[in-house]
Amino acid sequence: MGNLCTCFAPKTVKKKKSTKRSPGNPLSIPNSSNRWNRIRSTRKDSTDSLIQEQALAAAILFRQHQQQNGSGSLPFDRSASLRYPNNLGSKKTQLTRSSTSRALSLTDPLLQPHQLVNQDIKLDELETNHFVLVHGGGFGAWCWYKTIALLEEGGFKVTAIDLTGSGVHSFDTNDITNLSQYVKPLTNFFEKLADGEKVILVGHDFGGASISYAMELFPHKTSKAIFVAAAMLTNGQSTLDMFSQEANSNDLMQQAQIFVYANGNGHPPTAIELDKSLLRELLFNQSPAKDIALASVSMRPIPFAPVLEKLCLSDVKYGTVRRFYIETAEDNAIPITLQESMINSSPPEKVFHLKGADHSPFFSKPQALHKILVEISKMPST
């Protein structure tokens, strides 16, 4: 949320070979009916593939709904979006190198994991292969759809959380009064996690404060924590404190903020909305148009109270979790200077730099982000 005081496989077009026809009755041509059926089938397959690619994000959300709603006998629990890989650990083939040396551009479709550089992933040797993805302010689990697809295809287990009042979670953002309430879906997830099981937390934007809160409560269940263009706070600091460092210099952020006063103008704001006309420049200045369109119809207001709350982070709990930071070089929401200020105030184990990434690298640089996440998962304990 530097907001606050702040896909697809390459398309293959099949070319049909020209067919010479003999004059006369077409019915006399052997197997002509079968050939026509094959042509129609090819056209249909291409159309179906295109539709499936364009609807990937919607399909993921629908699948999340089905998984949570079950047989329909239970009410729809909108607190989290869970996605698990099929046949986990059954893949024996290694990832192969891409067959092209052409540099990627913003118009490149989402590559499949087998087209990425061979990463020699041995899941059974990792401390954990379970990623928990936590969105930023205004976002939801939906924003991770490319990251989810890449990680699952690589054999990882992925849980994408919808925090209270976010994504498909059916709570009114204006009624959120503290950080504990906001991150309840995340803490619920940890409470249900089996003893001895650990996960890798990934937080984006305001999600950095959310995962920090969880790290303090569940350090024994957190293998690593990855901050992606995120609020990485120190003890006694609020997200508002951190963003206030750049408040005077980030005119775009100030222009984009629309404060919501659900309790009346005489009371503090209850939420913050972002001007949709400024979303592209603020959050998605390097992202594909289709992802910006998805965000514009999916983003929700940011609860104000959690942003004001100062975190209590101890060395004996939060401080024991291995932290990593991923910088986004072209970020207009949390400028690189602010990211580096947070890093200097509380140095993580390692810092990664995503060149050409805007505030939403899961859209603008999904392959590069995926590669870093996998690299961090493979880092052994020191």
**Rounded CA separation 359/341 (Å):** 16
Instruction: Give me the helix-helix angle, 56-69 and 32-54, nearest 10°.
Output: 70
Active-site residues, by number, are 205, 331, 359
| C-beta of residue 319 within 8 angstroms of C-beta of residue 232 | no
- Name residue 70's amino acid: G
Q: How many helices (H) and strands (E) does the chain have?
A: 14, 10
Amino acid type, 166: S
- Do β-strands 257-260 and 130-134 pair in parallel, antiparallel, or remain unpaired? unpaired
Could you give the strand order of the β-sheet that contains 199-204, starting from the edge strand earlier in sequence? Answer: 80-83, 157-161, 130-134, 199-204, 222-228, 322-328, 350-354
Which residue has tokens 């390459």? 10
Paired residues of 187 in beta bridges = none
Distance CA 290, CA 154 (A): 24
- CA nearest to 53, candidates 122, 136, 131, 111: 111
Q: Is-contact 296 273, C-beta < 8 A?
A: no
